[in-house]
Amino acid sequence: MLHTVSMKENHLFRRLYSKGKSAATANLAVYVRRNGRKQNRLGFTVGTKVGKAVRRNKVRRRLREAYRTHEDRMVPGWDVVVVARVRSAFAPYRELERDLLRLLDKLGVCQKREKGT
């Protein structure tokens, strides 16, 4: 990912949960907060209720790819945490991608696309 770094520190996740904005669908919950940097920081949370390690990693890979393919639409300077819910383990990739983009757009992280592009 070109303009995004991975967020791994627990205190960053906790601060985002408590002070950030959030939106959710049946498959995902997304938390965002401005970070004052020139790049985005992205983190994923996939709990054990989603399934065993293989299934959790598959969900994480799908979400990371959905973000990566649309990274050029993201406004820089945000911390983003994507929380996968149990239903995400059984959702097709296109549904996860659609939900992620819809939530990021709702929270103001995605730039609007111009008509015709």
Would you tell me the crossing angle of helices 53-69 and 93-106 to the nearest 10 degrees? Answer: 60
What secondary structure, in 3-state letters, does 19-32 show? Answer: HCEEEECCCEEEEE
- The residue assigned the tokens 């950030």 is 20
Q: pLDDT per residue over 42-60, tens digit each?
A: 999 999 999 999 999 999 9
| Structure tokens, 24 | 């959710």
Q: What percent of the chain has pLDDT over 90?
A: 85
Instruction: Give the domains, in start order, of the chain with CATH numbers.
Output: 4-106 (3.30.230.10)
Q: Please, what's the b/e burial string for 7-26 (b: 16 or more CB within 10 A of its CB; e: otherwise)?
A: beeeebbeebeeebeebebe
Mean pLDDT, residues 26-31 taken together: 96
pLDDT for 110? 87
Mean pLDDT, residues 72-97 taken together: 95
